[in-house]
Structure 1
Amino acid sequence: MTTPPPTVLLVGATGSIGRLVAAEAVRRGFAVRALVRDPARARTLPGGVEVVVGDLTLPATVTDAVASVDAIVFTHGSTTREQDVRDIDYAGVANILDALGDRRVRIALMTAVGTTRPGVPYAAWKRRGEALVRASGNDYTIVRPGWFDYNDAGQRRIVMLQGDLHQSGTPADGVIARDEIARVLVDSLSSPDAVRKTFELSAETGEEQRDLDPVFASLAADADGSLEGALDAPAPAADEEPERFREDLTRIEGLR
């Protein structure tokens, strides 16, 4: 009997990165399912992608999307307004994890370079979304890309850094092509060396590596039981965090 290919759910599939992730995942032999709010936008996706209609912000509508999946790639994103990031980016992660319940899948979560910048409200909600993924008990990779498409044509060598130390809020923090972000997210799903790794992603002058496993392997894994990325500055104490996050965290930890 032929083993069916792994099924990967794309959250944010119709966005500029999500469409590239869909194409790369199809090319790599995954069965691809896309969660979309507007079916008309799914026309831009590659042939063969299964489309499931649902609203990421409405938990009851995403149950069908997560059914029987083996992996999830999050590339959704809204704006840099705190309310949008809280109610869409962060809530989307929480709602998908809730829908999964105690089932274990492989997760790749895209956030952004500078996620740990102090005093930046929207970034704090991205960091809290990362924390929920770490707390969920799933194997995961958290990718914090630099600035999309600010790279020169010759900047194709993929670089992964940790500690989120570049926080100018400008392309000086790192640049990367969109297709390379998609490639890293998809590669991480099948790489044991990418498990429990959190890193900032950029590119430097040089050719793109054929094999990213050695690059993943060079990174420190997030500590067992930690809500923070390896080498990140300490997060605020729990009693300093919003009640919404504390409640979500308690609930998701209870699903493990």
Structure 2
Amino acid sequence: MNHRPSTVLIVGATGSIGRHAVAEAQRQGYAVRALVRDRARAARLLPEGVDLVIGDLTRPDTLGPAVEGVDAIVFTHGSTTSERDVRDNDYAGVANVLRALGGRRARIALMTAIGTTRPGVAYAQWKLRSERLVRASANPYTIVRPGWFDYHQPGQRKIVMLQGDRRQSGSPADGVIARDQIARVLIESLHIDAADRKTFELVADHGPAQDDLTTVFESLTPDSVGSLDAAEDTVDLPVTHEPETFRHDLAAILVGIPRAAE
């Protein structure tokens, strides 16, 4: 990573994780831009000093002003467990923002979910496809798969990063994490070199939070350059068998790679 980003776009800024991400980014000294659909609502929910830019993740033609001039993008948006909602919002939002970049480089932090690689789970497969687009984009990135929100106990603050996505019960037994800790990890990944090209499940263990997450990131295996999938995942989704929507988006992003390297 060549430099610490200075201007960060938060996607999903008014959501329950996004609001924490905005506050954390401000605390760490970033200039924060928020992609919002309703300026008045966002102004009520977000702190002063945030640059509110109107746009809609589902409408690519509205995203140009949001990505103009930013050098980092944090995706905190998320919908339901409906396949249609995840496809049309979670996945499409990532695809549309990456394409709006037009090949310009930006540091990416993407939040998906623990259990993203569960076989046969249709909505999870669309989250996985959004991860694949980020890996294919040639941008520096970190992909964070949080455990279950709001099931943690007060003393459960030690941040734990796992790989391989092996916890697949679909319940809080897979791991829990506080919302503010998810935001902290997303924002800190932007400036820690060891976080680049890392994909991991994020949960909390009993004990205090670490002051510095560098060594935690350093313990992780980086994703292989050129691979669409995470380093320790087991995934059986051949691109040739993937939906046309994904293959079209992937091709469009791959075309942008030479411009990203300029």
Residue of structure 2 equivalent to 1:224: 225
* Residue 85 of structure 1, CA deviation: 0.4
Letter in 2 for 1:162: Q
Give the equivalent residue in structure 2 for 1:34: 34
3-state SS, counterpart of residue 17 of structure 2: helix
Supply the distance in 2 between the matched residues of 1:241 and 1:102 (Cα, whole angstroms).
23
AA aligned opposite 1:22: V
Contact 2:5–2:107, Cα closer than 8 Å, also in 1: no
How many angstroms does 1:5 deviate by?
7.4
- Within a 5 Å distance, the mapping from 1:66-215 to structure 2 comes to 66-215=67-216
Q: CA RMSD in A?
A: 1.0
Task: Name the aligned partner's letter for residue 85 of structure 2.
Answer: D
Whether the 8 Å CA contact 2:5–2:72 is kept in 1: the answer is no
2-structure distance, mates of 1:114, 1:5: 30
Query: What letter corresponds to residue 130 of structure 1 in structure 2?
Result: E
For 2:252, the equivalent position in structure 1 comes to 251
Please identify runs of 4+ aligned residues in structure 1 that moved more than 6 A: none
1:78 CA drift (Å)? 1.1
State the 1:101 CA deviation. Answer: 1.1
Task: Measure the CA separation in 2 of the matches of 1:39 and 1:117.
Answer: 37
Where structure 2 has 5 or more consecutive residues not aligned to the other structure, the ranges are: 258-262
- Kindly provide the amino acid, as one letter, of the partner of residue 176 in structure 2: V
The one-letter amino acid paired with 1:248 is D
Provide the residue aligned with 2:6 in structure 1.
Answer: 6
Which amino acid in structure 1 is aligned with residue 8 of structure 2? V
Letter in 2 for 1:38: D
What is the CA deviation profile of residues 89-135 of structure 1, one whole-angstrom value per residue up to 9, with x for unaligned ones? Answer: 00000000000011101000000000000010000000000000000
Q: Partner amino acid for 1:180?
A: Q
Post-superposition CA distance 1:162-202 (Å, at most 9, x none): 00000000000000000100000000000000000000000
Give the aligned partner of residue 20 of structure 1.
Answer: 20
- The 8 Å contact of residues 107 and 138 in structure 1, kept in 2 or not, is answered as yes
2:260 is matched with none
Displacement of 1:39 in angstroms is 1.5
Identity in percent = 67
Within 2, Cα distance between the matches of 1:102 and 1:242?
Answer: 23
For 1:113-158, what per-residue CA distance to the aligned partner results, in whole angstroms no more than 9, with x for missing partners? 0000001000000000000000001000000000001010010000
Alpha-carbon distance in structure 2 between the residues aligned to 1:108 and 1:46:
21
Q: Structure 1 residue 238: deviation in Å?
A: 1.5
TM-score by length of 2: 0.95
After TM superposition, the score normalised by the length of structure 1 is 0.97
> Which residue of 1 is the match for residue 241 of structure 2?
240
The DSSP-based 3-state class of the residue aligned with 1:163 is coil
Rounded to whole Å, the distance in 1 between the matches of 2:163 and 2:232 is: 6
Q: Contact 2:5/2:190 (CA < 8 Å) preserved in 1?
A: no
Structure 2 counterpart of 1:126, one-letter code = K
**Structure 2 contact 5–71 (Cα < 8 Å) conserved:** no
The size of the alignment, in residue pairs, is 253
Q: What SS does structure 2 have at the residue aligned with 1:77?
A: coil
Structure 1: runs of 5+ lacking an equivalent: none
- Write the distance in 1 (CA, Å) between the matches of 2:140 and 2:236: 21
In structure 1, C-alpha distance between the alignment counterparts of 2:100 and 2:169, rounded to whole Å: 36
One-letter identity of the residue aligned with 1:25: A
